[in-house]
Amino acid sequence: MPEINLWAKDGYLSTPDGNSIYFWGFAKSAAGPAQLPGPNIIARQGETITVNLHNMLAEPVSIAFPGQQVTVEGQPVQPQYKNNRLLSFVNYAEPGGTVAYTFTPSHPGTYLYESGTNPYQQVPMGLYGGMVVRPADYNPDVPEYKTAYGAGTDTGFDREYLLITGEIDPDLHQAVENGKPYRVSKYVPRYWTLNGRCAPDTMLMDHVDYLPHQPYGAMIMGLPGEKILLRYIGAGIDNHPLHPHGAHTRVVAVDGRLLRNGNADLSYKRFTVLVGVGQTYDQIYQWDGLGYTPGNPIPTVLPNLRNMGVGDAGWTMWSGSPYLGVKGDIPVGVVSYNEMGEYYFMLHSHEELQITNWGEFPGGMMTMVAIYPSLAPDIGVIG
């Protein structure tokens, strides 16, 4: 039976404008750094898993697993009371203590895990993460079994990415660090995150040395025609309207449930998906370009320059050429951030304030979808 250990700890996360913010998160080991979001959990449908929570914080902490039937010491988790007052929605670990949660996922899909104790405070502080449940027949080496929801469900994919939304109100974090009271009604986020990072850090690779507490990037990379599975998770307190440029997504599942009724396919295409608090969406993104083939990169529809621009006028991630994989001349005064003639399409929140860092654009909940002429097969693997 797989067993996973998570430690609830504190640390300091970084923002692109130079701020350092106290936060709480889950770590992979007692000596390892707290993470925002917590370590990805990969489970398999029908396989029992145990998650041990070790609490190194100074107050009770728990983990809720929405969509799962969880037990502790053989009994279903249940609300916990102290002096007739609700202390936690599920069984918790005291400071210095440990609690073991056991469950057997019955459905494949994408799920959130988060603190069930004082969630109005502990979740915005960073005690959340993502879980992917593979279908029982999942086999990444056999195309018909490399799916999100099982063979025959039309959810096959070539690459996959997990994007977890969140927000940061620095006043909350400072109050918790200094042991001062905080009124949740005064919650005002100044930073908005994808996988714990604000743009442009979202576009950096995973596990960069200078972001030890924010190991997961949010850059989406693929090839023309590939099926890219985007797994959205809404953590935090706010809803976020996310959409990628370049192509609509096909929503195949919501909250870990396949959009299908018998043989009837209920999946649908969307320009924007409103990622609600606690919700998850599984979507297929596919960029074809008009007539593109690897041997003939034309005719390729020239992407709208606005879709690939980032920052102030003159900043762009376009190569200057309409030919995918080829670099061309860019206008005088324009700076290009482009490696090999790939195309970039923005993926961002449609609430404009959420693509800033404390009001300064660009930032916040924004990243890019990069379409390359060639790409290593180990890119776009959730581990």
pLDDT tens for residues 205-230? 999 999 999 999 999 999 989 999 99
Average pLDDT of 146-162?
97
Cβ–Cβ under 8 Å, residues 303 and 345: yes
Residues of the chain with pLDDT > 90, as a percent, come to 78
Residue 309 β-bridge partners: 316
What span, in angstroms and rounded, lies between the C-alpha atoms of 22 and 190?
A: 14
Residue-by-residue DSSP string for 57-78: SSS-EE-B-TTS--EETTEE--
Instruction: Assess whether pLDDT exceeds 70 at residue 300.
Output: no
Q: Domains in the chain, start-ordered, CATH in brackets?
A: 3-289+345-371 (2.60.40.420)
Going by pLDDT thresholds of 50, 70 and 90, the confidence category of residue 195 is very high
Radius of gyration of the chain, Cα coordinates, nearest whole angstrom: 21
For 155-186, what is each residue's pLDDT tens digit?
999 999 999 999 999 999 999 999 999 988 89
pLDDT digits (tens, 9 = 90+) for 224-244: 899 999 999 999 889 999 999
The pTM assigned to this predicted structure is 0.95
At 49, phi and psi to the nearest 5?
-135, 145
